[in-house]
Structure 1
Amino acid sequence: MRKLNLTIPGNPPSMNHVYRNVSISRRVVTPDGKMWKDAVQIFACSAMQKAGWKMTKDEKVVAEVTVYWPSKRKRDVENIGKLLWDSLEGIVFDDDQWLLPRYMDFHHDKNNPRIEIVFYPLEQREEQPA
């Protein structure tokens, strides 16, 4: 089975700390957002090399996401998606239009907050027997 397991350690920055509006129609990534994005890309490249994963091109890719929050504070798992998928575009997959994110679960892990993602081509799942 062709798949990529990616673990991103730490707690993702909140959306309020990731983007800044510079005009009505333009947002830019903040320094905190850029730093997190760079770290995500390093983790992804390392995981890809270990798994032998090549960037997909024009292929639907499923991303099963499990989040481990550092506290029980109320959060929305979908809020991590924008910067996360922008960080991985052009590395794990060529364009996020092909990405099918599935937020599977969330947990609390004060000592080891992280995001775990399993990527695999959609066709691969469809070929598996029921």
Structure 2
Amino acid sequence: MNELRIVIPGNPPTVNHVYRNVAINRRITTADGQKWRQNVQAIASRAIATQGWKMSSEEKLVGEVMIYWPTRRKRDVENVGKLLWDALEGIVYENDRWLLPRYMDFSVDKHNPRVEIKFYRLEETADVHCL
């Protein structure tokens, strides 16, 4: 399968709520962060099983993200990424260094807050040049 779609229900926690600094250069994941991570991993595993996705390994992978917040409160879509991408490592892709996250848009859906992600492999072409 060349495409994988994952829908994670609920309001995603932000970096400020999932990590706690315990030393100068050390931080740990909070209980809420661990619970959310486990939930994301279970959802991703089910999606992979039903959609026939093969884990990506050493190839560029695009992750298009659409976020539906529960309220209009100001939020930063980038703050969702760190825990999300770490949670999917070893399940959707071998290593998130190959991931190209693309935050497509955000909106408000107070009745069904969620994160929708569409993954697809980036086809390499010899004619692509950077400026």
**Alignment TM class, shorter chain as reference:** over 0.9
Q: How many aligned residue pairs are there?
A: 125
The Cα shift of 1:14 comes to: 2.3
Displacement, 1:8?
0.3
- Give the deviation of 1:48 after TM superposition: 0.5
Distance in 2, matches of 1:80 and 1:109, equals 17
The aligned residue for residue 96 of structure 1 is 96
Give the alignment's TM-score, normalised by structure 1: 0.93
Q: Which residue of 2 aligns with 1:22?
A: 22
The DSSP-based 3-state class of the residue aligned with 2:93 is: coil
RMSD between aligned alpha carbons? 1.2
Secondary structure class of the residue paired with 1:123:
coil
Report the Cα offset of residue 24 of structure 1: 0.5
How far is 1:15 from its partner? 1.8
* Matching of residue 110 in structure 1 with residue 110 in structure 2: yes
**Unmatched tracts of structure 1, length 5 or more:** none
- Same amino acid, percent of matched pairs: 62
Query: 2:78 corresponds to which letter in structure 1?
Result: E
Where do residues 1-130 of structure 1 align in structure 2 (5 Å cutoff)? 2-123=2-123
Q: Provide the C-alpha distance between the structure 1 equivalents of 2:72 and 2:17, rounded to a whole number of angstroms.
A: 20
Counterparts of 1:106 and 1:31 in 2: how far apart (Å)?
Answer: 26
Greater helix proportion: 1
Displacement, 1:31? 0.3
Moved runs in structure 1, 4+ residues, more than 3 A? none
Give the Cα separation in 1 of the matches to 2:26 and 2:69: 30
Structure 2 unmatched ranges of 5 or more = 126-131
TM (normalized to structure 2)? 0.92
